[in-house]
Amino acid sequence: MHDEELQFEPEPIDGEVTEVSLDGERVLLALRILRQTHEALRHVMDLLDQGDLQMGRQALVGLLSERGETDGILERLQAERVIEGVFDGEQMIGSDGEAYAVPVNYASKSRLVEGDILKLTVRGDGAFIYKQIGPMERRRIQARLAWDASSGSYVAIDADNDRVWKLLNASVSFFKGHEGDTVLILVPKTAPSTWAAVENVIHF
Q: CA 87 to CA 103: how far, in whole Å?
A: 12
For residue 191, give the DSSP letter: S
Contact between residue 197 and residue 161 where contact means Cβ atoms under 8 Å apart: no
Quote the pLDDT of residue 35.
Answer: 79
132 against 16, higher pLDDT:
132
19 against 34, higher pLDDT:
34
Domain 138-202 has CATH 2.40.50.140: yes
Quote the pLDDT of residue 143.
Answer: 97
Name 155's bridge partners: 146, 166
Quote the pLDDT of residue 77.
Answer: 54
Quote the pLDDT of residue 137.
Answer: 96
Mean pLDDT over the full length of the chain: 81
What percent of the chain is predicted at pLDDT more than 70? 72
pLDDT per residue over 167-203, tens digit each?
Answer: 999 999 999 999 999 999 999 999 999 999 999 999 8
pLDDT per residue over 27-73, tens digit each?
Answer: 777 777 677 777 777 776 776 677 666 666 666 666 666 555 545 55
Domain ranges of the chain: 16-78, 79-134, 138-202
For residue 150, give the DSSP letter: T
State whether residue 50 is helix, strand or coil.
coil
